[in-house]
Amino acid sequence: QVQLVQSGAEVRKPGASVKVSCKASAYTFSNYGISWVRQAPGQGLEWMGWISAYDGDTNYPQKFQGRLSVTTDTYTSTAYMELRDLISDDTALYYCVRDYNYIMDYWGQGTLVTVSS
């Protein structure tokens, strides 16, 4: 069955960067895209960006442009999300989601990123 397995929890200091991985299995990785979604403690969902695993095309909302990079490695069927210049408001659970043809279906288990001095 389709699975997205994310890397483990991370703790960073303000101003640092974090990189989260998302390994896909049981489907042809390059035929789909991956979105990244985050959820701050007790808050709602926030879409952060998307990448096509086919050609590497990306789409970021203005809020994250310049601070977020999403990439893929088609050889290992893995997507990555790197967020730079972290602040305390970036403390959240980060999810990768399979996203194609305007359908978000399979979600990773989430990776907790804590930003604290």
Partner 1 sequence: QTVVTQEPSLTVSPGGTVTLTCASSTGAVTSGYYPNWFQQKPGHAPRPLIYRSSNKHPWTPARFSGSILGGKAALTLSAVQPEDEADYYCLLFQGGVWVFGGGTKLTVL
Give the DSSP letter of residue 90: G
Shortest Cβ 102–partner 1 spacing (Å): 4
Q: Which is nearer to partner 1, 85 or 105 (CB)?
A: 105
Structure tokens at 69: 């990079």
Shortest Cβ 60–partner 1 spacing (Å): 8
User: Coil, strand or helix: which one is 32?
Assistant: coil
Q: Does 107 bind partner 1 (CB under 8 A)?
A: yes
Shortest Cβ 62–partner 1 spacing (Å): 8
Name the residue with tokens 């390059």: 30
| C-alpha distances in Å from residue 32, one per residue of 55, 108, 117 | 10, 15, 38
Residues 45-104 that bind partner 1 (CB under 8 A): 45-47, 50, 59, 61, 95, 102-104
User: Coil, strand or helix: which one is 62?
Assistant: helix
Q: Which is nearer to partner 1, 17 or 57 (CB)?
A: 57
**Binder to partner 1 among 80, 90, 108, 113 (CB under 8 A)?**
108
Q: Are 1 and 106 in contact (CB under 8 A)?
A: no
Q: Does 112 bind partner 1 (CB under 8 A)?
A: no
Number of CB atoms found within 10 A of residue 103's CB? 10
Residues at the contact surface with partner 1, assessed by CB under 8 A: 35, 37, 44-47, 50, 59, 61, 95, 102-105, 107-110
